[in-house]
Amino acid sequence: MAIATRTATAVWEGDLPTGKGTLMNTSSGVLDDEVVTWASRTKAPGGKTSPEELLAAAHASCFAMAFNLRVSEDGVTPSSLEVSAEVELDEVGGEPTITSSAITLRARIDGIEQDAFKAAVDDASRGCPVSRLFASADITVDAELI
């Protein structure tokens, strides 16, 4: 049985260049009525979201959870974690392809040595379910204990 299942629906109206999609029926309701467009995906957001932005949010929050879980196994609780993700859409073989997700972690953690920090980062990189989903993409992590 699954740990969790979440859902969302996108309803698209119009052609790709000028049409729009509207998110609805999301499990939490938080994303309901958010609009996605080709322009928000490939040019400027203009107050609209994109699959890449949603994936970046998913990857950043998933990595934060995976890292927090990992350091807690060492008996350490972070004072704060700031995790960002930059997801890139590029053309590969003439097709738009999500090619990378770059994670940046800035962590404030008392009582952790640099080697233990690096080990936790490496384990979180492998343990984050969204990282595993992106297995075909180039995933990098720039982590700093501050």
pLDDT in tens, the chain (146 residues): 889 999 999 999 999 999 999 999 999 999 999 999 999 999 999 999 999 999 999 999 999 999 999 999 999 999 999 999 999 999 999 999 999 999 999 999 999 999 999 999 999 999 999 998 888 878 889 999 98
Tokens encoding 117: 């920090």
Q: Tell me the pairing of strands 138-145 and 80-92.
A: unpaired
Predicted pLDDT of residue 50: 95
| 138 three-class SS | strand
